[in-house]
Homo-oligomer: A and B are copies of this chain.
Amino acid sequence: MFTLSAMDQDLQPGQLLARGVSRHLRSHGFVSVEEFVPERGKRVDVMALGPKGEIWVIECKSSRADFQSDNKWEGYLEWCDRYFWAVDTEFPTDLLPDETGLIIADSYDAEIIRMGPEDKLAAARRKKIIQKLAMDAARRLQRYRDPKMAALPDEASLL
């Protein structure tokens, strides 16, 4: 049992896993953007970009029910070179499909248990994803740096 800080209380269980995953990926030289929308109607928990332009998607599942209600994950495979699940130590990992990667995570850190098999993106799509990731991350960063900035009329649709 641990005490959640004020900030932690604002995060859902899946977001806490995402935080631990993002922290850990830094040690592999990857940066992460959470809740990334590669195209309309899709939103991945963690989109990670590696030093050689590698793109990984990590979906964070806090429980069996959370996993079983996900009918979208296969749609994310076409947006990454490698796909991973991130779950906590209590999760029944036998449920997870073969041919996917596995990360065990908590709110503070994570560990890659099994690499997702590589299925390389086409160059044009990789370029598109990296550019969108640059734009989304820069836009969100500006909101933190300059909180008094007025919203643009179409901004909600950009994030």
B49 x A138 contact (CB < 8 A): yes
Instruction: Tell me how many residues of A have a C-beta within 8 Å of chain B.
Output: 33
- Chain A contact residues, majority secondary structure: helix
Closest residue of chain B to A23 (Cβ to Cβ) is B149
Judged by a CB distance under 8 angstroms, whether A40 is at the interface is no
B31 x A135 contact (CB < 8 A): yes
Judged by a CB distance under 8 angstroms, whether A130 is at the interface is yes
Q: Which of B5, B27, B134, B149 contacts A137 (CB 8 A)?
A: B134
Contacts of A141 in B (CB 8 A): 33, 137, 140-141, 144
6 A-B pairs with C-beta separation under 8 A: A19-B145, A22-B142, A26-B142, A49-B138, A130-B130, A134-B134
